[in-house]
């Protein structure tokens, strides 16, 4: 700050002196650490694992873990096939317990968290369940992983747009602007911009986007 001229030399010297005082006070108040003896170390080595195991057995409810293992054994492959596009619809037997399939799909996506296509398909699952917030979160992750994918970008902007009652927030506007910067003739992005500007009472801008659509 002194070099950049934010504070003058007098202020700099006062602050430096105060910091030196605090450092000396801290050094005087430090209590030297007592090295534990061999007996204390042995007690800790024995009792910490024992107490942890007892707490786990007495308190831990492992039912959700067992349920997840069961779901993965039963529909884990179906979940992977859905998320990788190998199948479009799950077999009837796999949706008898929908919660198992959803759990298996979520676990699969987090296991392959760097795959934008899996996040995209997970968002489609959430959308079908009308879990809009979860769908937007999944799409935002897909977009961060693959910002150049127009399908992911426009779907993310579209769902955010309608979830926000037809308003363009900063995030969806930025996504659409990025799409249009790379592909100025993208009709889906132009339409969303036109609707968003109209909903925001920016009618001149909306009319401009409509004329672009008419031109194509």
Q: What is the mean pLDDT of residues 34-54?
A: 78
pLDDT at 41 over 90: no
Q: Which pLDDT band, with edges at 50, 70 and 90, does 59 fall under? A: low
Q: Residue with structure tokens 């800790």?
A: 44
- Most confident option among 8-12, 26-30, 31-35, 138-142: 138-142
Residue 214: Cβ-neighbour burial (10 angstroms; 0-12, 13-18, 19+): exposed
Digit-coded pLDDT (tens) for 69-94 = 777 788 889 889 999 999 988 888 88
Digit-coded pLDDT (tens) for 111-136 = 999 999 999 999 998 998 889 999 99
**Residue 167 backbone dihedrals phi, psi, to 5 degrees:** -105, 145
Q: Residue with structure tokens 């950049």?
A: 4
Q: Which pLDDT band, with edges at 50, 70 and 90, does 62 fall under? A: low
pLDDT at 13: 86
pLDDT at 166 over 90: no
Q: Write out the two tokens for 147.
A: 């910002």
Q: What is the mean pLDDT of residues 50-61?
A: 72
């Amino acid at each position: 700050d002194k070099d950049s001229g934010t504070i003058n030399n007098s202020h700099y010297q006062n602050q430096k002196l105060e910091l030196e005082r605090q450092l000396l006070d801290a050094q005087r108040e430090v209590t030297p650490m007592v090295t534990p003896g061999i007996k204390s170390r042995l007690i800790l080595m024995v009792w910490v694992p024992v107490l942890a195991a007892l707490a786990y057995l007495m308190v831990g409810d492992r039912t959700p873990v067992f349920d997840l293992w069961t779901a993965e054994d039963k529909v884990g492959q179906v979940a992977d096939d859905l998320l990788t596009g190998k199948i479009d619809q799950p077999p009837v037997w796999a949706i008898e317990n929908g919660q198992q399939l959803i759990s298996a799909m979520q676990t699969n996506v987090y296991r392959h968290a760097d795959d934008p296509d899996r996040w995209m398909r997970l968002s489609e699952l959430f959308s079908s369940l009308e879990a809009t917030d979860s769908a937007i979160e999944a799409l935002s992750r897909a977009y961060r992983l693959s910002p150049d994918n127009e399908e992911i970008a426009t779907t993310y902007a579209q769902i955010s747009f309608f979830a926000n009652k037809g308003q363009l927030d900063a995030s969806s506007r930025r996504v659409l602007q990025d799409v249009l910067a790379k592909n100025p003739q993208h009709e889906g992005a132009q339409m969303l911009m036109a609707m968003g500007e109209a909903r925001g009472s920016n009618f001149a801008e909306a009319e401009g986007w409509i004329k672009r659509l008419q031109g194509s």
